[in-house]
Amino acid sequence: MCGRYSIVKSQGEIEGAFDVHLAGFDWVSSLRRYNVAPTQEALVVIQEEEQRQARLFRWGLVPVWDQKRRLINIRDDTLRDKRTFRRNLLHGRCVVVADGFYEWKKISSKRKAPMYIRLEGGHAFAFAGLWSRRGADLYGAPSFSIITTSPNDLVGPIHDRMPVILSPDALDTWLDPDLDEETDLGGLLSLLGPFPAAQMETYEVSKVVNSPSNDGPDCIAPVSGSQSTLL
């Protein structure tokens, strides 16, 4: 699963990477986050009226069958094998803006170490996501979920799932509002695989990230002696 992530790059880098304008947002106070946690509002990008639009949605998709439930992740095999989220996949695709995510690696029966995972070089990237207006009246904003897939060779020793990270070309396809629904469904599903491990890196961070109330640079700082792992 993916239960925490960061988005701390500059406003200019985000606007350039996602071809979106963030005018009207206070980047430092409302968008820059070192420790995004479920139920919090976070930056997503959707396609509306032939333009990409930045939005603040709440993390935890409200499913059609239960408005009190929040789904922070949806498995790619669920999208392939079941029709439960088919409408979201056809009409409610978004990308979740990020530049790193956290997973907890089992070190022993009594210890798990938080690991920070990112693209090599720390560039911003897009998680594949689904969103819905359901529950907006109850929770104050539309909701979203991050799609997960099987892990690559870098993430595999840490966790048995990883979020779907879209390449720039895949991002264009994922946000395309003119796809021919069922005809293009297979093409959308083909994007939901693990990102190449050779383009990613990971290192251990402090347990300060364990609490969602902590949201500062120390969340992504490597612990003393920790070195980035590359494949």
> Which residues are known catalytic residues?
2, 103
What is the pairing mode between strands 143-149 and 51-59? Answer: parallel
Q: Which two tokens stand for residue 54?
A: 């930045």
| Spatial contact of 155 and 197, defined as CB atoms under 8 Å apart | yes
Alpha carbon of residue 114 to chain centroid: 17
Burial of residue 210 (number of CB atoms within 10 Å: 0-12, 13-18, 19+): middle
Determine the Cα–Cα distance for residues 32 and 9; give it in Å rounded to an integer.
Answer: 8
Apex CA 27: angle with CA 94 and CA 38, to 5°?
A: 50
Determine the Cα–Cα distance for residues 37 and 14; give it in Å rounded to an integer.
Answer: 20
